[in-house]
Amino acid sequence: MQEKRLAITTVAVVFAFLVLIALVATIGGGLMSYERSEIRIADIDISAEATSIADVMLNVTTYLDNGGSAKSGEIEILVKAYDVDTNLLVTSNRTVLGEIRGRETKSVNTYLKLPKSGSYRLQIVVFEDGKGILRGERKIYGLARLEPPSAAKISVRGLDFLIEAVEVESRSGKEKEYAIVNTTLYIDNLGRDVSGLRALIKARENETRLIADRVWKDLGVLKEGTTSLHYAGLRVLNGRDYIFEIQIWQSGRIIKESSGRVMLSPFVNRTVVVEAREKTVEISPEAEITDFISPMPPATPAAEKARAPVPAAPGFEIPSIALALIAVILFNKRGIKDGTR
């Protein structure tokens, strides 16, 4: 009888314990709270811009929403473009987004360069900590109708060249002299305000046609109906002649070209042929290249105004004062004579 009561008591205690666990799990949300992220693709936007006659740049914007309370792992977006007709992969690009906090939405831009002649199926794959968790697809057509940006209406009005400095460099016991040539570009904007233009300035050696130096220059914002000045310094070997070539680039293509000559051969000794006997003589330069170093920075409209000659202050010149003194002396002498008479 006592063993039966003990068994009933044990069962009752176990049952009560299980009921208590169920109540705690129901009322308090469980003995342990388990948080996790819930990533989903909220939306996908696609924009396109023609960069040239043949190519287009796609901007695929993916919006990711974390519906969970925990932050996500490391998120990456892979965008792949397949040709609709052949189903072959044309190009792909991967973008790192990083972590997404709980109850947060983030967007990421992925860029693809594609040929305009074609239709494409875009596949967007979302990775979390290196594991693919989501996929989305979009199709795009009619890219051939996109027109490239119109060329800016600019003109290279003129070029100026100044010798900024002369540098001597020793190599293998030989000294070589280099000139720093400052190139000034005068650019007219004949159309509307434009930005994003770049200039490529190249110094091409006239005899060998080799490029001695080159530099890229961002032109900034060119205001409508204005002339702007832009400067670039190139380092070239002294004693040679050069053609300075200017190319203005917009959206990956050349829209304007110009050129000018810089003759440095007169600044070094050279051999010439005289008479029919082909007698050669050495001719030394009459001027040194250092004679052409600009004493101040390249001129700007404000600097030119400041450098304008100041008109002389009003007053008598020295010869005028001398004549006046002589006239006074003669007048006094005449007065003295008249008084004596």
pLDDT in tens, 108-145: 999 999 999 999 999 999 999 999 999 999 999 999 88
Q: Which long-range contacts (CB under 8 A, 24 or more apart) does 246-249 make?
A: 246/156, 246/159, 246/183, 246/185, 246/199, 246/200, 246/201, 247/199, 247/200, 247/202, 248/154, 248/156, 248/187, 248/197, 248/198, 248/199, 248/219, 249/197, 249/198, 249/199, 249/200
Q: Do residue 158 and residue 252 come from a single domain? A: yes
Lowest mean pLDDT among 147-156, 247-256, 298-307: 298-307
Q: Do residue 103 and residue 160 come from a single domain? A: no
More confident position, 315 or 287: 287
Residue that finishes a domain, picked among 119, 145, 171: 145
Res 78 pLDDT > 60? yes
Q: Report the domain count for the chain.
A: 2
Q: Do residue 159 and residue 283 come from a single domain? A: yes
On whether residue 309 sits in a domain, the answer given is no
In which domain, by residue range, is 273 found?
A: 154-299
Tens digit of pLDDT for each residue in 171-208?
Answer: 878 889 999 999 999 999 999 898 889 999 999 999 99
Tens digit of pLDDT for each residue in 159-170?
Answer: 999 999 999 998
On whether residue 317 sits in a domain, the answer given is no
Q: Do residue 158 and residue 80 come from a single domain? A: no
Residue that finishes a domain, picked among 121, 145, 169: 145
On whether residue 322 sits in a domain, the answer given is no
Q: Do residue 95 and residue 170 come from a single domain? A: no
Give me the mean pLDDT over the 51-74 stretch.
92
Q: Do residue 293 and residue 252 come from a single domain? A: yes
CATH number of residue 113's parent domain: 2.60.40.10
Res 322 pLDDT > 80? no
Q: How confident is the model at residue 147, as a pLDDT? A: 82
246 backbone φψ class: left, alpha, beta (φ>0; ψ -120 to 50)? beta
Q: Do residue 82 and residue 192 come from a single domain? A: no
Q: Do residue 173 and residue 240 come from a single domain? A: yes
On whether residue 334 sits in a domain, the answer given is no
On whether residue 110 sits in a domain, the answer given is yes
Res 336 pLDDT > 90? no
pTM above threshold 0.85: no
On whether residue 80 sits in a domain, the answer given is yes
Tens digit of pLDDT for each residue in 267-285?
Answer: 988 776 666 556 666 777 7
Q: Do residue 189 and residue 276 come from a single domain? A: yes
Residue that finishes a domain, picked among 124, 145, 166: 145
On whether residue 24 sits in a domain, the answer given is no
Query: For residues 48 and 57, is the Cβ–Cβ distance under 8 A?
Result: yes
Q: Look at residue 99 and give its three-state secondary structure.
A: coil
On whether residue 311 sits in a domain, the answer given is no
More confident position, 28 or 255: 255
